Structure 1
Amino acid sequence: MPETPMNHDHYDDAFIADWLGKVRTIAVVGASPNPARPSHGVANFLARHGYKVFLVNPGQAGKEQNGLTFYARLADIPEPVDMVDVFRAPEYLAGVVDEALALSPRPKLIWSQLGVRDDKAAAKAEAAGVAVIMNRCPAIEIPRLRLPAAQ
């Protein structure tokens, strides 16, 4: 746990690149089967980029999208996830953090998408040893940073 709180107003490129290089399994919370929704495109981008992706949406549980399975809750995913990518409104981020912190093992990183920020929820995750990146999109950061596919 860092001694000083993380500055979520700015992330060094190296910090983002390091995390995207460490994670292999990603749960996309708020995933949508609708191709017009950003979560749909990002989940598919991450899968094409070599990450193992699990979709989380209670209304779609048991269904598949491009070979990816939907689960109702994080706890329903059959293996540990390294990263939780949150496509929910900011007021739901604290609940997703609580759900992630209840997992064993816990994810290493909670990532919230563009426009999704809750500093109190981030502080709770970080206090529990889980890193947080907010208000960013991995499907933007990976090409911007010219990161290779996940291994």
Structure 2
Amino acid sequence: MAFQNPAREEIGNILANAGSIAVVGLSDKPDRTSHLVSMAMQSRGYRIIPVNPGAEHILGETCYPSLADIKEPVDIVNVFRRSEYCAEVAQEAAAIGAKVLWLQQGIWSEEAARIAQENGMTVIMDRCIKVEDAITGGRS
């Protein structure tokens, strides 16, 4: 059976109940989509945890080289990496007990979805978290 994203209502519930969002591939460059989206989500009250091995701080938050280095619970792993890297990210997300694997707009990986689902995670692919937050009312 082909993968289907959760219904909008479920996506809204996921966002409304998210305590923290680890952003894999969050750029420290303010003109990059990952930075703009994460900054917007942070301004809406979401706890953003940057994951980028090449930076120390992004958006005023400590940056971690990998998901395994994060020492607090993570609800959503939001991925800004190319599709071929997503299976590895899904394995790392499962290892830290994340609840949701979210692949940003333009990113799709059946293998990552399978890994995440087999580990009890909800999967959302090819959707922008900022757009979904605006549509569903996420934190409002």
The TM-score bracket by the shorter chain reads over 0.9
2:113 to 122, 125, 135: 122
> Which residue is equivalent to 2:41?
46
Q: Deviations 1:97-130 (Å, cap 9, x if unpaired)?
A: 0111122xx0110100011111121012111101
Q: Which runs of 5+ in 1 are unaligned?
A: none
Identity %: 39
| Secondary structure of 2:54 counterpart | helix
Deviation at 1:22, TM superposition (A): 1.9
Q: Aligned partner of 2:113: which letter?
A: A
Deviation at 1:23, TM superposition (A): 1.1
| Secondary structure of 2:35 counterpart | helix
Matched, 1:113 2:104: yes
Q: Deviations 1:70-91 (Å, cap 9, x if unpaired)?
A: 1100011121111100000000
Could you tell me the TM-score, scaled by structure 1's length?
A: 0.86
Deviation at 1:6, TM superposition (A): 7.3
> Which residue is equivalent to 1:23?
18
Q: How many residues align?
A: 140
Higher CA-based Rg: 1
> Which residue is equivalent to 1:79?
72
Could you tell me the TM-score, scaled by structure 2's length?
A: 0.92
Distance in 2 (CA, whole Å) between partners of 1:34 and 1:52 is 19
> Which residue is equivalent to 1:58?
53
Matched, 1:14 2:5: no
Q: Which runs of 5+ in 2 are unaligned?
A: none
